[in-house]
Structure formats: C-alpha cells, structure tokens
Amino acid sequence: MLIDMHMHTGGEAVGFHMTPEMIIQLMEKYRVNCAMVSNGDAGECDHQQNPLPVELQVTQEKALQENINFARANKGKIFLAVWVKPRFQGLTYELCKLIEDNIDIIKAIKLHPYHSAISPTDKRVIPYLEFAKQYNLAVISHTGGCEDASPTNLYKAAKMFPSVPFIMAHMGLESDNSEAIELLGKADNLFGDTAWVPMNSTIKAIQKYGTHRMMFGTDSPIDGVDTYKCNPWGERSMYVDYFEKLRDIIGDNAYDDLMYRNAQEILKIKP
C-alpha cells in the first residue's frame, strides 16, 4: 500500500504543468493506491509574491470543482485538499456548500502562505481553520520561503486549534528542516510531510518523535510523471532514497506508518 498525500493539479499561471492524466499515469506506473490532490490554479501570487493579474486568477470554487470531477471519476483513489484564497476571496458560502456536498472525498484545507503571501495566523485565514475544525478536516500548509510561510507560524496556528491536525508540507522548504523538526516536539497536532524533504531529515523526525508524525508526500507530478525517479533533465530524485533505502534503515513498522498508515489515520484516506 502506498499513499501520496501531497499531489497537485494546475499551477499553469506560475509555470507548472500538472494534469489529472499525469497523476493517474504516475499512480499506475509507480503503484500508488491513493493520492490527496490540491489544485494549484487557486494560487494567488507569483514566485515573487506579486498578485497574479486578474485574468490569471481562478476562483477557489472553480479550482475545487475541477478536482471534485477528477476525484469522482477515480473513486477510492483520489482525495482532495481544498486550495483556498484567503487574500482575494475569503471563506465564501459557495465554497462551504461545495465542501459539505463532497465531504466524503475532501480531507483537508490547503494553505499556501507563500503563494498567498499571508500567514496561517492572519485573521483572513482563521475562518478556514474554524471550518476545518467544524468539519474534522486537516490543514496542510506549504512551509518555507518567506516569513509568512515559516514553520513557526503554522505551529502557532496549530496551537490555536488543538483538535485539528496541521501538516507542515516540506518541513520548511529549502531549509535544513531543523526548525520544523524541533516544532514537532511542541504540538501533538503538528505533523510533517516528505515533499522535498531529504530522507535523513525524515529519519531524524522519526527517531525523535516516533513513527506517527510524518507522512509520505511528493508534490507530484511537479517534475512530470517520473517525479519519483527523476526530474525532466534526468537527474535522480531524492524520492529514490525513500523507495530504495529507507525501509531497511527504519524497519517495516515505521516505514508502513510513513508510507500509508499515518495518512489513513490522520487524514482518513481509505481506498
């Protein structure tokens, strides 16, 4: 069994190319049983954190509806995280209704404090967190790249909503992950994923806090259908370590928790 809890569609406006077809191809090729997917088309700002022009803004409702159609066509395989737009939209009645009507396949709210240029503790984000609490959804948030997106800010949000699982995607992208690893010890409802996290950081987190705090996720298919193996230029992916080395290092029990059981329990993803 394998669950990848961090995949995307969309993101064309900021230069990514990630389609439902690529996800299905990857899942078949690499035997992924289930994926949790969010739609990057709901990103609000570009890579310099400037607001995307109006003609490139896609509403959070439209982005979600597209992914609902994708998940409905792939029952038991595709589950959703709702990428939200706290800067330019906020929690709308329409979005709440869409989530309620599809609560069987929706497992999390997805924040992107970098591409929204907004902290998870900002008052414009809070209504989404309250909604997550009310509907027993997790909150998965990008961490890394700017102050707003720091692991510490997500930790503060996690402290405000102790019943909601918060997942630090990337464990502080492009850092040595030490800030995020430390924070895991300070809030029981804080978790990490492995997206662009070197294997050794994941091992460190497991050694320090046990086998229930990290989940396997990859940002696929950000580097194409073979994201697990290599990038478009053929350079070896760090995920190869997770498939070829990690089980022998941490043992079957820790490995199975990481690769699917934690996602089943914490995100309630069940095929």
CB of 43 to Zn ion, least distance (A): 10
Q: How far is CA 191 from CA 199, 211, 214, in A?
A: 16, 11, 6
CB of 62 to Zn ion, least distance (A): 19
Site for Zn ion in 207-236 (CB under 5 A): 219
Site string for Zn ion, 166-205 (x = CB under 5 A): ----------------------------------------
CB of 119 to Zn ion, least distance (A): 18
CB of 18 to Zn ion, least distance (A): 10
How many other C-beta atoms can be found within 10 angstroms of the C-beta atom of residue 239?
A: 25
Chain residue at closest Cβ approach to Zn ion: 219
The strand ranges marked E within 93-203 are: 106-111, 138-142, 166-169, 190-193
Residues 2, 31: contact at Cβ < 8 Å? yes
Locus of tokens 């069940």 = 270
* Residues 131, 135, 140: CA angle, nearest 5 degrees: 70
Q: Which residue number, 61 or 219, has a Cβ lying nearer to Zn ion?
A: 219
What tokens were used for 68? 């609902």
Q: Which residue number, 145 or 165, has a Cβ lying nearer to Zn ion?
A: 145
Measured in whole angstroms, how far is the alpha carbon of residue 59 from the centre of its chain?
19
CB of 195 to Zn ion, least distance (A): 6
Q: Are strands 78-83 and 3-9 parallel, antiparallel or unpaired?
A: unpaired
- Number of chain positions touching Zn ion (CB under 5 A): 1
Q: Which residue number, 41 or 219, has a Cβ lying nearer to Zn ion?
A: 219
* Residues 190, 81, 154: CA angle, nearest 5 degrees: 30
Q: Which residue number, 141 or 153, has a Cβ lying nearer to Zn ion?
A: 141
Q: Which residue number, 160 or 198, has a Cβ lying nearer to Zn ion?
A: 198
CB of 193 to Zn ion, least distance (A): 9
Residues 87, 124: contact at Cβ < 8 Å? yes
Q: Which residue number, 4 or 219, has a Cβ lying nearer to Zn ion?
A: 219
**What is the binding site for Zn ion (CB under 5 A)?**
219
